[in-house]
């Protein structure tokens, strides 16, 4: 537990206890202290309270308290000796402490670089790109090589991405003197903003490249040949490193993400690595049995249908499904057979079916009686 010497509720030179300022207990965690400071800073920030001297002082007091309690060494000294222990290492209010608060307040107020602004203009990574690619069902199953055309920003070949004319170099920005920042006073603390003349680069191009007009990059279309691996499914993403847009100021390029969309197949349906299909068979094939030809991803397969097969029976063709992406093996193909009843009979076929009906009459009547008895038992 902190504060073994007791609570420092007394004031030194009018200063309040730092824990009291932030409204946290003496054993508060680092995250609790940071959260409490953020709430106070947002509440009393001068931009939200223009002309309010009291709010300005509260903001200043909270910042001072946070600068001590967020530093383990300072906090330990403060816990031992109170405000008197700060006299040697921390005397009065220092506006530069706001340089450490960018991660707390920058995003909220939209300043980005107000608190301890960082110089821009160094190498910047290029933007990632996305390309939506539609492929056929069989291409997804077997894999395919294809070419795609990507519009993107590429480094200007004329100036090597520098943006300046041949033999010329950028000059130091006269507005910020090469720092990329313009500093001025607002209220009681100093603020830095990105220089508007050079956009934080610290340098300006006086003699721009005629090809890229000083941008260092030009828009081009590049044709890429990519390999789609066997087994990809709808929505899969392929990352192609370094094929995004060129980086600025000599920075590395971004990446290209190819998003796969697989077209539906009129015959096959996919579930995981298995595929499903339906095949029609005739009454005679179902009754007597037969060996039929079934389409598969690899061509044609022979399937033995045993006699007495009922409509809807499902058969499995092992290892005839989709290849497991990045793994060995593949799924199976499931074939459901549907018995097709003929709608038009020849005279000879009708006579044969009538003869069969006479033979099966007793069996049909027996099945009807069994069904009636079952229904009767159910309903009493």
- Residue 28 has which token pair? 């508060």
Q: What is the mean pLDDT of residues 335-343?
A: 91
Mean pLDDT, rounded, of the chain: 80
| Rounded Cα distance, 69 and 77, in Å | 10
Task: Work out the burial of residue 73: count CB atoms within 10 Å of its CB; fewer than 13 is exposed, 13-18 middle, 19 or more buried.
Answer: exposed
- Give the mean pLDDT of 20-27: 92
pLDDT of residue 263: 95
What is the average pLDDT across 98-109? Answer: 47
Evaluate whether the domain defined by 127-165+213-264 bears CATH number 2.60.260.20.
Answer: yes
**pLDDT at residue 13 is higher than 70:** no
Band (pLDDT 50/70/90 cuts) for residue 7 is very low
pTM of the predicted model as reported, rounded to 2 decimal places? 0.56
Q: 180-209: per-residue pLDDT in tens?
A: 888 766 555 566 778 888 877 787 888 888
**Closest by alpha carbon to 216, among 203, 197, 227, 226?**
203
Task: Give tens-digit pLDDT for 257-304.
Answer: 999 999 999 999 999 999 999 999 999 899 999 999 999 999 999 999
The pLDDT, as a whole number, for residue 52 is 85
Sign of CA dihedral 68, 69, 72, 78: positive
Smallest Cα–Cα separation from 335: which of 283, 284, 288, 297? 297
> Residues 123-157: pLDDT tens digits?
788 899 999 999 999 999 999 999 999 999 888 88
Region 16-38: what's the mean pLDDT?
Answer: 91
End-to-end CA distance of the chain: 79
Specify burial of residue 201 (Cβ count, 10 A radius: 0-12, 13-18, 19+). buried
Beta strand residue intervals within the chain, DSSP E: 129-135, 144-155, 171-172, 181-186, 189-194, 203-204, 217-228, 237-240, 256-262, 269-271, 274-282, 290-296, 299-305, 314-317, 333-340
Give the C-alpha distances (Å, rounded to integers) separating 192 from 119, 163, 180, 213.
Answer: 10, 27, 10, 29
Question: What pairs with residue 299 in β-bridges?
Answer: 296
What single-letter DSSP state applies at residue 248? B
Task: Give the span between the Cα atoms of 372 and 369, in whole angstroms.
Answer: 5
Angle 53-69/72-81 helices, nearest 10 degrees? 100
User: What CATH number should be reported for the domain whose range is 18-109?
Assistant: 1.10.287.110
Torsion sign over Cα 339, 344, 348, 350: positive
Q: Which CATH number does the domain 269-340 belong to among 1.10.357.10, 1.20.1090.10, 3.30.2320.50, 2.60.260.20?
A: 2.60.260.20
Assess contact for 71 and 63: CB atoms under 8 A. Answer: no
Give counts: helices (H), strands (E), the chain: 9, 15
Residues 231-251 have pLDDT tens digits of 999 999 999 999 999 888 778
Average the pLDDT over 45-74 and give the result. 84
Q: What phi and psi values does residue 51 have, to the nearest 5 degrees?
A: 80, 0
């Amino acid at each position: 537990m902190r504060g073994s010497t007791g609570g420092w509720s007394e004031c030194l030179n009018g200063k309040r206890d730092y824990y009291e300022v932030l409204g946290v207990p003496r054993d508060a965690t680092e995250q609790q202290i940071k959260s409490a400071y953020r709430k106070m800073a947002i509440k009393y920030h001068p931009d939200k309270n223009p002309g309010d001297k009291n709010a300005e002082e509260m903001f200043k007091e909270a910042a001072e308290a946070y600068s001590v309690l967020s530093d383990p060494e300072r906090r330990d000294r403060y816990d031992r000796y109170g405000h008197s222990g700060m006299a040697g290492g921390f005397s009065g209010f220092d506006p530069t402490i706001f340089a450490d608060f960018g991660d707390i307040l920058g995003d909220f107020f939209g300043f980005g670089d107000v608190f301890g602004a960082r110089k821009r203009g160094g190498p910047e990574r290029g933007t990632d790109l996305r390309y939506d690619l539609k492929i056929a069902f069989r291409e997804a199953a077997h894999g395919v090589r294809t070419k795609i055309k990507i519009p993107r920003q590429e480094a200007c070949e004329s100036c090597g991405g520098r943006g300046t004319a041949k033999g010329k170099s950028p000059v130091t920005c006269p507005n910020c003197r090469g720092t990329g920042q313009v500093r001025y006073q607002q209220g009681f603390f100093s603020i830095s903003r990105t220089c508007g003349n050079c956009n934080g680069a610290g340098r300006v191009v006086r003699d721009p490249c005629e090809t890229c007009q000083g941008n260092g990059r030009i828009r081009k279309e590049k044709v890429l040949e990519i390999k789609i691996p066997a087994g990809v499914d709808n929505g899969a993403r392929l990352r192609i490193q370094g094929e995004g847009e060129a980086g600025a100021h000599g920075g590395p390029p971004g990446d290209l993400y190819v998003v796969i969309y697989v077209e539906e197949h009129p015959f096959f349906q996919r579930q995981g690595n298995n595929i499903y299909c339906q095949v029609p068979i005739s009454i005679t094939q179902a009754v007597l049995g037969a060996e039929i030809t079934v389409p598969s991803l690899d061509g044609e397969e022979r399937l033995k249908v045993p006699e007495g097969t009922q409509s809807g029976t499902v058969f499995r063709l092992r290892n005839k499904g989709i290849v497991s992406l990045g793994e060995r093996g593949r799924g199976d193909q499931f074939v459901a057979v549907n018995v097709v009843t003929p709608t038009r009979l020849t005279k000879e076929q009708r006579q044969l079916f009538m003869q069969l009906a006479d033979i099966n009459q007793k069996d049909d009547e027996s099945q009807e009686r069994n069904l009636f008895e079952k229904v009767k038992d159910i309903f009493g």
